[in-house]
């Protein structure tokens, strides 16, 4: 492992330099990786490993859109595409990538498919950490590990195809074979991780649920709505309000942050923007700090897990979700966004 200084704190991380793809292939040469679930993370991880020369099969319920998607991606029914249970029986590494609610409902079937020495792999610490709610308690004769890419499946695949990678955390919860750590790192490299940093199942799920509900999704959407609505209430046009709220962030400023950090972004903006940002950032930080404290407490106590499992286990979950997403999609702000995106130069009609 390499020791890297992160803002004055040293961490041990795994890079491709010390654990190259060739080493990952050697570690995994006798494994059959069964990717269960072809929804969010499944397609990207499965295709990346396949492209990297790992033996991969997919488990997905036939007759679903995700089954058809797997076929379109080149997985062959009866050869590399099977039912969830059959794939689990055939695999030596079982990548349990169903939804959190799906992992709970399918666990009684999957646990029966785990043979001695298999690895049970997650990309989220949810099911194991909140075992009292999910019932997911791995048997003692298997390795249990996770590799959690720090991005959506779309980004995992897109970055891989572009020749880069996306960072991931990894953890070993149970080492039955004495090789769990090496197997987990090899799988992280095989799915295309930029670098791997160690965590635990608990820390992964606490940080992940906080991040998704906070800066990455919930807070981002909420803050955008608040600014857009404030501008509109003072007579600014939808185009002006959306461009100043979203378009400039996603198409310009966040890219500068990604390149070299927040100070780099500030340094490449006007002096007026710099002064205003520096004067107001602490006010925003202090305003939302209590919300983040409440959020973390709700995650840590399992309240968020229970809410998620209850909502996602309803028979009408997808219908309810579509209605909630439609409210966002059909709002003036995001209708304005669709119009703004259509006017980007790459979308101009010649």
The answer to whether residues 126 and 40 touch, using CB atoms and an 8 Å cutoff, is no
Tokens of 52: 């990297």
Q: How far apart are alpha carbons 148 and 160 in whole angstroms? A: 15
Q: What's the pLDDT at 199?
A: 96
Q: What's the pLDDT at 293?
A: 97
**Region class of 78: left (phi > 0), else alpha (psi between -120 and 50), else beta:** left
The answer to whether residues 188 and 196 touch, using CB atoms and an 8 Å cutoff, is yes
201-210: burial string, b at 16+ Cβ within 10 Å, e else: beebbbbbbb
Long-range contacts of 246-250 (CB under 8 A, 24+ apart): 246/337, 246/340, 247/337, 247/340
The answer to whether residues 4 and 10 touch, using CB atoms and an 8 Å cutoff, is yes
- What values do phi and psi take at 138, rounded to 5? -60, 145
pTM for the full predicted model: 0.89
Q: What's the pLDDT at 221?
A: 96
Q: What's the pLDDT at 7?
A: 83
Domains of the chain: 2-200 (3.40.50.720), 211-347 (1.10.1040.10)
Q: What's the pLDDT at 350?
A: 52
Residue with tokens 């080149």: 74
124 a catalytic residue = yes
Q: How far apart are alpha carbons 70 and 87 in whole angstroms? A: 14
Positive or negative: CA dihedral 308, 312, 313, 317: positive
Positive or negative: CA dihedral 269, 275, 278, 279: negative
- As averages over each run of 10 residues, the pLDDT of the chain (350 residues) reads 84 91 97 96 97 97 95 97 97 95 94 97 95 95 96 92 92 97 97 93 96 95 97 97 95 92 92 94 96 97 94 90 95 95 80
The answer to whether residues 176 and 5 touch, using CB atoms and an 8 Å cutoff, is no
């Amino acid at each position: 492992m390499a020791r890297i200084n992160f803002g004055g704190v040293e961490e041990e991380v795994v890079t491709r330099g010390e654990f190259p793809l060739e080493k990952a292939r050697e570690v995994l040469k006798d494994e059959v990786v069964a990717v269960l679930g072809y929804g969010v993370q499944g397609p990207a991880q499965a295709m990346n490993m396949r492209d990297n020369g790992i033996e991969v099969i997919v488990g997905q319920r036939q007759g679903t859109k995700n089954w058809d998607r797997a076929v379109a991606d080149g997985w062959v029914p009866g050869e590399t595409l099977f039912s969830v249970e059959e794939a689990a029986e055939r695999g030596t590494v079982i990548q349990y990538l169903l939804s959190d609610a799906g992992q709970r409902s399918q666990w009684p079937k999957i646990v029966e498919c785990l043979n001695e020495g298999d690895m049970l792999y997650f990309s989220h610490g949810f099911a194991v950490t909140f075992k009292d709610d999910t019932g997911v308690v791995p048997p003692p004769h298997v390795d249990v590990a996770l590799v959690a890419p720090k991005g959506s499946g779309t980004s995992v695949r897109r970055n891989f195809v572009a020749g880069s990678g996306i960072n991931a955390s990894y953890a070993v919860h149970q080492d039955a074979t004495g090789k769990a750590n090496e197997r987990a790192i090899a799988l992280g490299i095989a799915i295309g991780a930029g670098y791997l940093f160690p965590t635990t199942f608990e820390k992964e799920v606490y940080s992940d649920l906080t991040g998704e509900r906070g800066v990455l999704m919930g807070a981002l959407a909420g803050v955008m709505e608040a600014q857009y609505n404030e501008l509109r209430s003072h007579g600014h046009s939808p185009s002006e309000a959306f461009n100043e709220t979203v378009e400039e962030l996603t198409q310009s400023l966040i890219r500068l942050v990604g390149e070299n950090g927040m100070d780099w972004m500030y340094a490449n903006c006007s002096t007026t923007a710099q002064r205003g940002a520096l004067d107001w950032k602490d006010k925003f930080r202090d305003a939302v700090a209590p919300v983040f404290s409440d959020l973390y407490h709700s995650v840590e106590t399992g309240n968020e897990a229970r809410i998620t499992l209850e909502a996602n286990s309803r028979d009408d979950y997808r219908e309810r979700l579509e209605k909630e997403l439609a409210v966002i999609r059909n709002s003036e702000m995001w209708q304005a966004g669709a119009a703004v995106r259509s006017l980007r130069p790459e979308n101009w009609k010649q």
